[in-house]
């Protein structure tokens, strides 16, 4: 999909706009984007690190759970991350006082219809599902030790996951302007947590809790 987006861009077709997840009040929002946004990325580095984590941690979970359960976990967590992102964007929409306005004046562009302006609020990437995979790994193998750059010593997987969650929460509530959907990452982890707990109660998967 990344290569397709580069090729189609030269043909005048913006796949990121079509398949990325828009804010639900945006002109180009479509329900299918809750799934398709996971397969779009904002650049090679974004794609590489997501796929590296998917290979490193997802492969282990897939072997333990099986391909079908892993696919369900991945997709549901990704959709859940998108839902979280929509909620956070709606809160921001209300806080900025945009509700009730038909257009917005952008100094560098001029007056834009509100729906077109909100098209700029687009989310792409598999990160929400990837963070769910990190959480799933931490719950299944909490005491496995990992080397995490730049730490010079190994840490247990459960502390690795908890640390990532805390960092994302702090970055999210600090309202950092880094262009990263931190609450989408947390949303993926929340949905992943719910699924693992549910499957354990149904005795469908084993493994210790964190």
Average pLDDT over residues 176-182: 72
- Residue-wise pLDDT for 82-139, tens only, equals 999 999 999 989 988 888 788 887 777 778 888 888 888 999 999 999 999 999 999 9
* pLDDT over 70 (residue 143): yes
Q: Report the alpha-carbon distance of residue 177 to residue 139 in Å, rounded.
A: 31
Is 50 inside a domain boundary? Answer: yes
Is 45 inside a domain boundary? Answer: yes
* pLDDT over 80 (residue 47): yes
CB count in 10 Å sphere of residue 127: 24
Domain boundaries, position 23: 2-201
Burial 72-104 (b: 16+ CB within 10 A, else e): ebbebbbbbbbbbbbebbeeebeeeeeeeeeee
Count the domains in the chain: 1
Is 40 inside a domain boundary? Answer: yes
Is 177 inside a domain boundary? Answer: yes
Percent above pLDDT 90 for the chain: 58
What are the residues whose beta carbons fall under 8 Å from the beta carbon of 15, sequence distance 6 or more? 1, 4, 5, 8, 9, 40
Is 210 inside a domain boundary? Answer: no
Average pLDDT over residues 31-40: 96
Q: Report the alpha-carbon distance of residue 77 to residue 71 in Å, rounded.
A: 10
Is 191 inside a domain boundary? Answer: yes
Which uninterrupted H or E stretch holds 111? Answer: strand 110-113
- The domain that contains 16 carries what CATH number? 1.20.1540.10
What are the residues whose beta carbons fall under 8 Å from the beta carbon of 64, sequence distance 6 or more? 140, 205, 207
* pLDDT over 60 (residue 205): yes
pLDDT at 163: 86
Average pLDDT over residues 197-205: 82
Is 208 inside a domain boundary? Answer: no
Is 207 inside a domain boundary? Answer: no
Residue 75: pLDDT band (50, 70, 90) is: very high
């Amino acid at each position: 999909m990344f290569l397709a987006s580069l090729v189609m861009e030269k043909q005048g077709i913006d796949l990121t706009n079509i398949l990325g997840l828009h804010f639900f009040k945006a002109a180009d929002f479509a329900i299918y984007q809750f799934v398709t946004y996971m397969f779009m990325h904002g650049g090679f580095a974004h794609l590489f690190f997501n796929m590296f984590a998917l290979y490193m941690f997802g492969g282990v979970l897939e072997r333990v759970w099986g391909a079908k359960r892993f696919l369900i976990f991945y997709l549901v967590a990704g959709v859940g991350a998108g839902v979280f992102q929509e909620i956070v964007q709606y809160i921001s929409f209300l806080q900025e006082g945009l509700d009730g306005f038909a257009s917005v004046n952008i100094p560098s562009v001029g007056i834009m219809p509100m729906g077109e302006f909100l098209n700029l609020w687009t989310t792409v990437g598999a990160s929400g599902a990837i963070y769910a995979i990190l959480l799933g790994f931490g719950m299944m193998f909490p005491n496995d030790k990992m080397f995490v750059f730049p730490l010079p010593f190994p840490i247990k997987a459960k502390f690795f996951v908890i640390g990532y969650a805390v960092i994302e929460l702090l970055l999210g509530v600090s309202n950092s302007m880094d262009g990263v959907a931190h609450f989408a990452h947390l949303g993926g982890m929340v949905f992943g947590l719910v699924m693992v707990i549910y499957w354990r109660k149904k005795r469908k998967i084993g493994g210790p809790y964190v």
